[in-house]
Chains A and B, each alone.
Chain A
Amino acid sequence: MKELLDMFITFAKVGVMTFGGGYAMLPILQREVVENKGWAEEAELTDYYAIGQCTPGIIAVNVATFIGYKKRGVLGGIFATLGVIFPSLIIIMSLAGVISAFSDFAAVQHAFAGIRVCVAVLVFNAVVKLWKSAVVDKLTLAIFLAVFAGSTLTNIPVMLFILAAGVLGLAVRSVRKGGEK
């Protein structure tokens, strides 16, 4: 129970420090879950994001469920998820009265213009960390560049990139292994 509570609190911390979509959660996860708690490795996070981006639902919830399940089974998955949604519930409900005015305040807009710069820098740093486990040879470099360019410049659904990359990985690996043997 103590561990489940720890999981809830840790993910609530992650939730409250996330400004933006699931990608904005990555640098916080790296610090809290990988470095501080040691609940997952860098490479695993990349895997969870890969799956989270092509399965239904909110990526942040998907990734929390994965890590929670890995540490403490089904209950762990549920507690981690409840943790990550808890701050949103509290914050949105307590701001509800003033909320539509809230985002019009000049100070809020200025603050978030600053935060966006920071989130972009933190995500950049997070990708640099992922790089070591994800981009290991010429082919993976090519996949990274192709997906980066493709998803920046076109409206092709994300799921197609993920599926194509997975199939490519399977195909290339099995051909290589066949050659070695």
Chain B
Amino acid sequence: MLYLRLFFEFFKIGLFAVGGGLATLPFLEEMADKTGWFTRAQLVDMIAVGESTPGPIGVNMATYVGFTTAGVPGAVIATLGLATPCVIVILLIAAFLKNFRENPLVKSAFYGLRPASAGLIASAGLSVLLVALFKNSPALRVDLLSLVSWNWKAVVLMAVLLYLTRYCKKTKKWHPIAFIGISAAAGVLFQFGA
């Protein structure tokens, strides 16, 4: 019974949360209040864990909430519940697109959609960059111009990575995970956090 409810609750989130992983957050807060499966404080931990383990954040959160609530079966059921509506909706759209991809109207819509999509991804990248380049500060906006609030180690790492991934012929073709590994090592070695 708990399993069924878990599936259903996450199915609802998958169906109504638009815009990716962190868009599930308000729904999870509501779930915490309504079901008592976990507290809001636990939810904060779950975000931290979802962000600091491999895998898309939204999926990580569902797995963790499911596991906390009902063990291994709970983790599997919550994650599948979250993914099921996405899969159904996308399969419907994909089937439609398959038949209409060459349609001039669809082509025209994508002509406008592509730059918008690229703009959104760039903006998401920028917000990660801001978190990475500045020290934790509540008054972030005010401190942008003050030199002490910059995380200079991160700035140096960024410059090195830009060189390695874009200009250095030897390393340019390396797999992205190699750079992620190097950055994690650099972070630990030079004490990047806090």
Binding site for B on A (CB under 8 A): 15-28, 31, 43, 46-47, 49-62, 65-66, 69-70, 74, 77-78, 81, 84-85, 87-89, 91-93, 95-96, 99-100, 102-103, 106-127, 130-131, 133-136, 140-141, 143-148, 151-152, 157-159, 161-162, 164-170, 172-174, 177
Contact = CB atoms under 8 A, between A and B. Distances in A.
Interface string B182-194: 1111111011111
A25 B125 CA distance: 11
B140 interface: no
20 contacts: A18-B56, A20-B56, A24-B128, A53-B117, A53-B120, A55-B86, A57-B82, A58-B86, A66-B90, A81-B86, A84-B59, A102-B53, A103-B45, A117-B158, A127-B121, A141-B115, A147-B120, A148-B122, A168-B112, A169-B110
Contacts of A27: 176
Interface residues of B, number: 96
Interchain residue pairs A-B with the least CB separation, the first 6: A169-B112, A114-B187, A57-B86, A147-B119, A165-B116, A123-B125
Interface stretch (B16-24, B28-36, B142-150): B16-24
Given A89-B63, A112-B187, A50 B110 contact: yes
Interface of B: 14-22, 24, 45, 48-49, 51-60, 63-64, 67, 72, 75-76, 79-80, 82-83, 85-87, 89-91, 93-95, 98, 104-105, 107-129, 131-133, 151, 154, 157-158, 161-162, 165-166, 175-177, 179-180, 182-188, 190-194
B116 A93 contact: no
A143 B86 contact: no
Contacts of A62: 86, 89-90
A140 to B, nearest CB: 4
Contacts of B95: 69
B186 A114 contact: yes
Nearest to B192: A113
Contacts of B53: 88, 91-92, 95, 102
A43 B16 CA distance: 27
Contacts of A109: 52, 193-194
B9 to A, nearest CB: 15
A133 to B, nearest CB: 6
B57 A26 contact: no
Contacts of B87: 61, 65, 77-78, 81
A15 B54 contact: yes
A146 to B, nearest CB: 7
Given A113-B151, A147-B116, 7 more contacts: A60-B20, A62-B89, A65-B94, A91-B54, A145-B119, A166-B112, A174-B108
A152 B127 contact: yes
Contacts of B126: 120, 148, 152
A127 B167 CA distance: 16
Given A114-B157, A166-B113, A84 B180 contact: no
B122 A125 contact: no
B165 A21 contact: no
Given A108-B52, A111-B184, A117 B115 contact: no
Contact of A25 (B52, B56, B154, B177): B56
A85 B83 contact: yes
A170 B121 contact: no
A49 B124 CA distance: 13
